[in-house]
Structure 1
Amino acid sequence: MHEKLLGLLILLISLITPLKAQEISFGLKRNALDLPERIFELVEVVDARRNKPALGKIYTSSNQSVLYGLEGGLQEGLKQFYNNAVPKKGEIRRIQLHVLEFAIVEQKQGNSVASGDIKMKFAYYLEGAFQPIHLVDYEAGMNYRRSINRTDLVGNVLNQGIKKSVQFLNDWIRDQAADDRRLANKVRVEIIEKDRINHPDTVFYNANKPISFQDFRDRPNVASRFNATIFTSLSLEGASFVQEGTIILPLEVKVYMLPGSSWIKSGGQSEYTLNHEQRHFDVTKIVGNRLVEKLKYMDLNPDNYEGLVNDAFLDAFREMNRLQEIYDGQTRHGLDHGAQSRWNTILDQALEGNMTSVELELMKGK
């Protein structure tokens, strides 16, 4: 009697224990695609679908509807297939794939036939230094009819769809790589140096043409104890473009004075005063030269070149203001003739490319 009760209990437990859902998995075929080379590496697959456990359900020969998935899981399966389908070659872009939609919806067409619709939508991103950069989306729809006994045909259709997505991405990168800024893998700075034509409101620095009294056009400040004031500054201009996968960044450093903001008293129009103001202009030119040298050797990449170039310019602008203050402070705005003579030498050396004394003064002036 005891044995019969125990057997009945086991039977009842087995009846109320939920059965594990059946699932069929298909494998991606590793046969080579019709591609000369693969110019990307899939570094990550992000499953962004709403329903993640499986791709959908399909019917089996026993007329059961079972879950259908990818061997090894969707993320790892796609990553391995993309990276193994074709040998990589050339400049490799690191790609992140977001699976937005990947679903099978199958219906029975009588007792022996099933039909299905497959929808795929992938978003491709370029791995960036800070965050992924969206490149392009791939969307495809496929439908099929099959014998209820041929579940393998579903895998064949899916294989074809995924192969096409690989070819789409590879072709898109190849077609866009030369001109699309997002795919550029290098940055090259090209320094533009040319003589500028002066305008009534702007006088550009010219080593062969020092400033003159006529370049001071503002009304003098009669309350000032100084004989003259010059307004000098610098700017950085350039518009980048893409050429054969490289971002070309032409940059021009402009050094100029503004006559409308510069003045000289009629009683102070001497060569000594003019030299002191010219040296302010020289200071700005020296800082501009230092900025040019820095830009030539900066380590830039497509993710950060704009920010780094802007930071370099702002650093140069602050350096210009600091060096002007040091120069005026030590010469007492030109009143100390001995200090003025010393600074004439320092600035002449710097204009010739020897920055040693200027750098020492900047260090002392901190």
Structure 2
Amino acid sequence: MNRVFNSAGLWLPVMLYMFVFCPLNSKAQKTNAEIVLTNRQLIDKPNEFYIANVIDERAERNAVAWLLPAPGNLPAVQYKADLQGGASTAVKQFADYAIPVNKTLRAVNIRIKKLKLNETPMSDGRIAGRLEIQLWFELKKDDGNVHLIDYPASTTYYRSATQQYDTGLLISRTLEAGLQFFNKWINREADTNIKLAKGVKLIFTDYSEQPEGDTIYYSAKRPLTWNDFQDKARGGKYVAEVMPGFGYTEQVEVSKAIVVVRISMKVFLPKSAAWVKPEGRTAFALNHEQRHFDIVKVVARHFKQALIAMKLPVDNYDGYINVQYLDSYREMNLLQEQYDNETNHGTNQYYQQEWNTKIDGWLRQ
């Protein structure tokens, strides 16, 4: 089976964005106080997704910031501060405000891989703060979530030792930048990225080849002739033999969020594997061999009809196609065996005529 893939699914490398913010308005902040995020909606309204869930996967989840107190607040050592309600709850609330929940759109999860703000003293008496963040965006699906893209970023600020920084606003702006980044990415990828596809469409064609070579590809307008039997005759009690089969090739593209699978059906018979004895060149024997070829055409049609009747999953459409191909190939072998057994390899004219009628009916369907 020859299979060709031309997938339009795109993968983007992880990118590191360095943000250098202008100093935020400093304000006093109580030691060990919770950090409150500043809610704000995205300027560009998302129309492809909503945030279904936020999962905190950091190793240390009881704080997001390690800050230094203002002078006079002793001891002058780092203290921990967490987002109000915890990281996953606070980020989910922030995301829901930034992106109103619309469950008719794609459900996306955010996994917090890194969210850490660390302040350290500088030799000139100032305080340096560094925020590092890594968000992991994934498509939520019933049969297993699909990783889409990462958003890593970092920013550094400097402040006076006499006042503390508005860390809530800093983290809010960084989260907002991450959501804006993902919104732009999904808007760009929604129609053509196979990970974001919403369905599968099959388009079938029958393969043909001109000029004809050793292989005959089935056509109702191109019946077998004895000139097609080009292999040396075998011994034994049979007067002729053919070896037909079927396969397919695929070409895949994603268009308007649909995986379009173009399947070119190949019902074939190699001339180099067909043989006939001199005494077997009769119209009756040729019809028997032609019917072997016709049976393969019927089974190939069953293969096509079975796939059309399925609702193929985007994530594993090819697995379903492969399984159906194997099932159809087994059907072909069983039918060929039944045909030869009941017609006694074409020597029983009564049953041969019955099969002729049966196969003609199948071909007309």
Which category of TM-score, normalised to the shorter sequence, fits these structures? 0.7 to 0.9
Residue from 339, 351, 356 that aligns with 1:344: 356
Cα deviation, residue 279, structure 1: 0.5
Q: Any idea what the Cα deviations from partners look like across 1:260-284, whole Å, max 9, x if unmatched? A: 1111111110000000000000100
Counterpart of 1:183?
A: 196
Change in CA separation of 1:266 and 1:72 when aligned onto 2, cut-off 3 Å: same
Q: Does 1:41 align with 2:53?
A: no
Shift of 1:107: 2.3
Residue aligning to 1:9 = none
Question: Which residue, out of 154, 161, 169, partners 1:141?
Answer: 154
Structure 2 residue matching 1:209: 3-state secondary structure: coil
CA deviation digits over 1:124-149, x for unaligned, max 9?
A: 22234543322211111112234556
Specify the code of the residue in structure 1 equivalent to 2:54: V
Cα distance in 1 for residues equivalent to 2:65 and 2:181: 24
From 288, 291, 307, the counterpart of 1:295:
307
Query: Could you state the TM-score of these two structures normalised by the residue count of structure 1?
Result: 0.84
**Equivalent-residue separation in structure 2 for 1:284 and 1:103 (angstroms):** 64
In structure 2, distance between residues paired with 1:97 and 1:206: 54
Are residues 1:330 and 2:361 paired? no
Structure 2 gap ranges (5+): 1-30
Where 2:105 maps in the other structure, the secondary structure is strand
C-alpha distance in 1 between matches for 2:162 and 2:176: 25
Please list, as runs of the form range in 1=range in 2, the aligned pairs for 1:37-116 lying within 5 A after superposition.
37-61=46-70, 62-63=73-74, 64=76, 65-88=78-101, 92-108=105-121, 114-116=127-129
| Cα deviation 1:91-117 (Å, max 9, x = unaligned) | 723223222221111124599953311
SS at match of 2:286: helix
Judge conservation of contact 1:197–1:204 (CA < 8 Å) in 2: no
Q: 1:110 to 1:208 in 2, by over 3 A?
A: closer
- Greater RCO between the two (CA within 8 Å, min separation 6)? 2
What are the residue-to-residue correspondences of 1:1-366 with 2, within 5 Å? 23-61=32-70, 62-63=73-74, 64=76, 65-88=78-101, 92-108=105-121, 114-147=127-160, 151=164, 153-193=166-206, 195-197=208-210, 199-222=212-235, 224-353=236-365
Structure 2 counterpart SS, 1:140: strand
Q: Which consecutive unaligned segments of at least 5 residues does structure 1 have?
A: 1-21, 354-366
3-state SS of paired residue (1:29):
coil
Q: What amino acid sits opposite 2:175 in the alignment?
A: I
Q: Is the 8 A contact 1:24 1:66 kept in 2?
A: no
Q: Distance in 1 between matches of 2:160 and 2:168?
A: 13
Equivalent residue letter for 1:330 = E
Query: Percent identical across equivalent pairs?
Result: 27
Distance 1:101 1:36 in 2: 26
Which residue of structure 2 lines up, in the alignment, with residue 17 of structure 1? none
Task: Evaluate the alpha carbon distance shift between residue 345 and residue 198 of structure 1 in structure 2; reply closer, same or farther with a 3 A threshold.
Answer: farther
Shift of 1:258: 1.1
Measure how far apart 1:150 and its partner are.
5.0
If you compute each CA radius of gyration, which structure gives the higher value, 1 or 2? 1
Structure 2 counterpart SS, 1:102 = strand
When residues 284 and 237 of structure 1 are mapped into structure 2, their CA distance, relative to the original with a 3 A threshold, is: same
| Contact 1:128–1:303 (8 Å) recurs in 2 | no
Partner SS, residue 314 of structure 2:
coil
Provide Cα deviations, 1:30-59, integer angstroms capped at 9, x if missing partner.
Answer: 232212225223333333323222113213
Q: Tell me how many residue pairs correspond in the alignment.
A: 331
Alignment TM-score, normalising by the size of structure 2: 0.84
Q: Distance in 2 between matches of 1:140 and 1:196?
A: 55
Q: What is the distance in 2 between the residues matched to 1:235 and 1:328? A: 22
Secondary structure in 2 matching 1:78: helix
Aligned-residue CA RMSD (Å): 2.2
Amino acid at match of 2:33: I
Aligned partner of residue 51 in structure 1, secondary structure: coil
